Structures are given as structure tokens and as C-alpha cells.
């Protein structure tokens, strides 16, 4: 099913000049960028974004980190994009994340892990609503879409 996910290149990713290289991985995978903006996330927004973790010891430091400098917030679209992008991002801690994933290749920290990706369709919907108005999300066709995958249910040649 075509899905959308909210992706955030976190302050460390922007500060370390890695935004372009991270975006390239999503482009190379054939995923479609349908919205993007550079955002100075406020502490209040970060608290809302990480509300599920409010009782954890890393909550306040994570809020401070996310609001310390601009983040690049994007929506990527594609079939199965939520799970696929979590796999591309890798597990939470850079020192643990498998090589070949974004966190595994670019970081080795617990907190400074470069990128966020929605973890379920429900969080994707909430997170997209938090950062984007409907008219900021664009609907357009890729000219090479038919070469990216055989659409389910379409005749296989």
C-alpha cells in the first residue's frame, strides 16, 4: 500500500553536513519526496513529538537536542515506506546499528542519531499533521515510476 512517513534529519545531521547524503539514500531507493522544510523545532514541539517517552530518563536531553538547531523535516512516500525507511535508518544507537544503515554508517552516539522516521502508520499520520499543512504536501508523478517495481495486481510481463 502506498504510505507516507515523516522523516526528520535531526540537528546533528544538518550540523554535520550530512543532509544531502541522507536524502540521496532515499532518492536512490526510489522513494518520493512529497514535502520538505527546514524547521527550528521548539522545545514544546519536541515534547509533543517524543510524548511517548515522557517518563524516560533520556526525555529531557532528547527534547534539548531536537530543539538545539534546525532540522530538515520531510515526508517520503512509497509502497511500504514506513518499515522500509526504519530499516534504512537502522537501530536507535549508532554504535549498535548495522553497517549499511544511516545510523550505522554515520554515527556512534545514543542520542545524536541523525534521523527520525515514523514507526507505524498511526505515528506517521500524527507526525505529518504536526509538521505540515495539507497544502504543503504535493502530489505528483515520477516519470520513471513504472521502472521502480511491478505494481501489485498489474500484469507481469
Judged by the rule CB under 6 A, the positions of this chain that interact with ligand ATP are 50, 53, 58, 62, 92, 110-111, 113, 116-117, 119
User: Min. distance of Cβ 116 from ligand ATP in angstroms?
Assistant: 4
Nearest to ligand ATP of 50, 125 (CB atom): 50
Q: Which residues contact 106 (CB under 8 A, 6 or more apart)?
A: 13, 16, 18, 21, 22, 94, 114
User: Min. distance of Cβ 119 from ligand ATP in angstroms?
Assistant: 6
Closest alpha carbon to 37 in 58, 62, 7: 7
- Residues labelled catalytic: 116
Q: Which residues contact 3 (CB under 8 A, 6 or more apart)?
A: 77, 78, 79, 80, 81, 82, 121, 124
Nearest to ligand ATP of 55, 139 (CB atom): 55
Amino acid at each position: 500500500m502506498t504510505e507516507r512517513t515523516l522523516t526528520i534529519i535531526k540537528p546533528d545531521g544538518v550540523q554535520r553536513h550530512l543532509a544531502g547524503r541522507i536524502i540521496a539514500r532515499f532518492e536512490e531507493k526510489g522513494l518520493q519526496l512529497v514535502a520538505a522544510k527546514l524547521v527550528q523545532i521548539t522545545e514544546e514541539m519536541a515534547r509533543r513529538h517524543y510524548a511517548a517517552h515522557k517518563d524516560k530518563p533520556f526525555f529531557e536531553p532528547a527534547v534539548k537536542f531536537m530543539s538545539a538547531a534546525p532540522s530538515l523535516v520531510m515526508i517520503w512516500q512509497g509502497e511500504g515506506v514506513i518499515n522500509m525507511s526504519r530499516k534504512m535508518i537502522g537501530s536507535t544507537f549508532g554504535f549498535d546499528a548495522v553497517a549499511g544503515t544511516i545510523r550505522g554508517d554515520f554515527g556512534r552516539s545514543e542520542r545524536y542519531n541523525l534521523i527520525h522516521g515514523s514507526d507505524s502508520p498511526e505515528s506517521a499520520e500524527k507526525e505529518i499533521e504536526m509538521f505540515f499543512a495539507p497544502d504543503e504536501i504535493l502530489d505528483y508523478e515520477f516519470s520513471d515510476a513504472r521502472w521502480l517495481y511491478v505494481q501489485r495486481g498489474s500484469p507481469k510481463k
